[in-house]
Amino acid sequence: MSIITVQCQLKATKDSLRHLWSLMVEKNTLLVNELLKQINTHPDLENWLKVGNIKAEVIEGLCDNLRTESRFQDMPGRFANAAEKLVKDIYKSWFALQEERRFRLWRKQRWFSLLRSDLELEQESGLSLEKLRTEATKILIKAQLECSREAEPDQATTDNSSALWDNLFTAYDKFKSPRLRCVIAYLLKNGCQVNKVEEDPEAYQRRRRKKEIQIERLKEQLKSRLPKGRNLSEQEWLEALEQAQGLIIDDEHLRQVQASLTRKQSPVPFSISYETSTDLRWSSNEQGRICVSFNGKGISKHTFEVFCDQRQLHWFERFYEDYKIFTQNKDQVPAGLLTLRSARLVWQEGEGEGEPWQVHRLLLHCSVETRLWTAQGTEEVRAEKIAQTQAAIDRQKAKGTQSKKLNTSLERLKTFQGFSRPSRASYKGNCSIVIGVSFGRAKPATVAVVNVETGEVLAYRDVKQLLNKPIKEGKTKKKKTQYEYLKRRQEQQRLNSHQRHNAQKNGAPCNFGESKQGEYVDRLLAKAIVEVASQYRASSIVLPDLRNIEEAAESEVRARAEQKFPGNQKLQDSYAKDYRASIHCWSYSRLAQCIELKAGKAGIATEKVHQPHGDTPQEKARDLVLAAYANRKVSVS
């Protein structure tokens, strides 16, 4: 499945915009705030925190009770459903984050408990360093043999590294002898190897301090506050200001007040989600402009004009065409084959003075299934939905029940052929060829084309080779390529950094933008990478998993700063600031999203694995592919 999001701006009369703003602020956002408040003060909150989940029935019951109050009785039903779903998603996300943090904290504490210097290991085990290495070699050989016996005959030795780590950790927990535990701790500390080089005490202290900082930060994050709503009246800020004027003797209370005063509050209401495409009614006005209206009490009579970029216009024209077919054959068209899957009404923050519905922009975000653009893709989706619906019917039959709705949906999926969509051959890649993309500071993206069956690297592409297409440069005779855009962006970053520094010293505004240069370069890189994948008929593109990369980088920065300037907080902060500026120069998550989007449109699968360490970007890209291939073997076995 390849789902993308296209957006447009909606324009309407002042009355329509004011009415929608009023509904979203006084009904939807207020309901979300009340639900969050009631959950955060619920007597069962402690139990939910321990379990890590809130049952959907609890949120639904609270929402139903609130809707009986007079202030919510005129609220459109779809707005209430959107508020209920938003609260469910907020807590699902929050609990998932907390669970992930707890797991990461456990792993880091486990690692920190065995991390000791060579001198400490010698003293605790009663062995000299040479004997410690000898014992470590014996245990390592034994552990490697066990991993080899457990692995498949054709499995590469490097694929066993994960199993080797697991075996050594298990052995460390199992053994009670201080001598054996120290030997295993020595192996684990050195990456499951016997290190023949003398340990650098400064490097060890920096490594240990880095882990301490990571643990401290995770503990602070686990204390993070419960989810809160949006206070569009700035009442919370005024209350915090009043508290700040009084006497505060508790450091924790002081931090909370400071956070409330400095936190940027969103001036726009929560968005409204429409989970079914049939809730949107598409039309065309006298000027030929596409318009949309929404089902729901109090809003269905208001019509909004669609304003979008030329690149998205064909999608909205398709929505209009699909809706006409749907209205003409309402009892025959399967809604699952409509190109539009879901939509979301969003207010985008604007600047200026005036009424909020005139200052802020109303946007419509539409999720579309890209396969439904073509006739071949539509048949793929049809086959999938027929199989899913048939499986649901079979499950109900096994329980002795039947669903007329499911039978009707199945019949529509099988019989309706009223869509007229363009034909395009589907992409078929070679399952042996995989593309790896590594991210780095000096070179934002480096590509390796690898035959996973033989391990042979077929080609490498660095960022300059990817951006080698010529560009038009007016009257100049010098030939330039797309790589020029990357150099311009890097130069603009340096210039903005210098101007921002001078502005901050003078207390002047320092919001220097880059005119979306980075986003444009990301799209060029993504297009070039997908073209390389198509050229070699690759079956998939492997991208680095960027989770926790910022946390790891921040901990490393702090540890370096403390090591370089011990006891001098001012110099540590200055060093950390300069170091951050040098490493956080590219939005890798945005680049990854662009690659996933382009690959999805081309029908090429993408997967993510943790980016291995390597000396060069080419090695990292190659190792990404090998790591992904190893993960496939593990999942299959």
Task: Dump pLDDT digits (tens) for 289-306.
Answer: 999 999 988 888 999 999
CATH number of the domain residue 606 falls in: 3.30.420.60
Q: Are residues 476 and 542 in the same domain?
A: yes
- In this structure, the answer to whether residues 421 and 434 fall within a common structural domain is no
Q: pLDDT at position 222, please?
A: 84
Q: Which of 6-15, 99-108, 211-220 has the highest mean pLDDT?
A: 6-15
Going 605 to 598 to 610 to 94, the CA torsion angle's sign is: negative
Domain total in the chain: 4
Residues 625, 597 share a domain: yes
Structural domain contains residue 356: no
Tens-place pLDDT, residues 550-607: 665 666 677 778 778 887 877 887 877 776 665 546 788 889 989 998 998 888 999 9
Evaluate whether residue 558 is within a structural domain. yes
Band (pLDDT 50/70/90 cuts) for residue 144 is: confident
Strand stretches in 500-604, DSSP E: 538-544
> Are 545 and 396 in the same domain?
no
Confidence of residue 459 (pLDDT cuts 50, 70, 90): very high
Pair (478, 383) in one structural domain: no
Which among 171, 198, 225 is the end of a domain?
Answer: 198
412 lies in the same domain as 555: no
Shared domain check, 452 and 574: yes
Same domain, 590 and 550: yes
Residue 63 falls inside a structural domain:
no
Look at residue 65 and tell me if it is in a domain: no
- For residues 384 and 468, state if they share a domain: no
In this prediction, residue 321 carries a pLDDT of 95
- Confidence (pLDDT) at 167: 86
Residue 542 contacts residue 449 (beta carbons within 8 Å):
no
pLDDT at 347 over 90: yes
Whether residue 31 is predicted with pLDDT greater than 80 in this model: the reply is yes
**Domain identity same for 447 and 584:** yes
Please check whether residue 163 lies inside any domain of the structure. yes
Is residue 624 within 8 Å of 478, Cβ to Cβ? no
Which pLDDT score, from 0 to 100, does residue 158 have?
42
Q: Is the pTM of this model over 0.85?
A: no
Is 317 part of a structural domain of the chain?
A: no
- Is residue 333 over pLDDT 80? yes
| In the block, residue with structure tokens 């919370």 | 236
Averaged pLDDT for residues 392-419: 89
On whether residue 106 sits in a domain, the answer given is no
| pLDDT for the residue 255 | 73
What mean pLDDT do residues 398-420 have? Answer: 88
Does one domain contain both 468 and 382?
no
Mean pLDDT of the chain: 85
Question: HEC profile for 402-432?
Answer: CCHHHHHHHHHHHHCCCCCCCCCCCCCCEEE
Domain assignment present for residue 19? The answer is no
> Domain residues for 167?
118-198
Average pLDDT over residues 126-131: 89
Asked if the model's pLDDT at residue 510 lies above 70, the reply is no
Q: Please compute, for residue 636, the number of CA atoms within 13 A of its CA located in the half-sphere on the CB side.
A: 9
> Is pLDDT larger for residue 489 or for residue 334?
334
Same domain, 435 and 400: no
**How confident is the model at residue 427, as a pLDDT?**
81
Q: 610: helix, coil or strand? A: coil
Q: What is the mean pLDDT of residues 138-167?
A: 70
* CA-CA-CA-CA torsion sign (74, 75, 78, 84): negative
> How far is 71 from 75, CA to CA, in rounded Å?
8
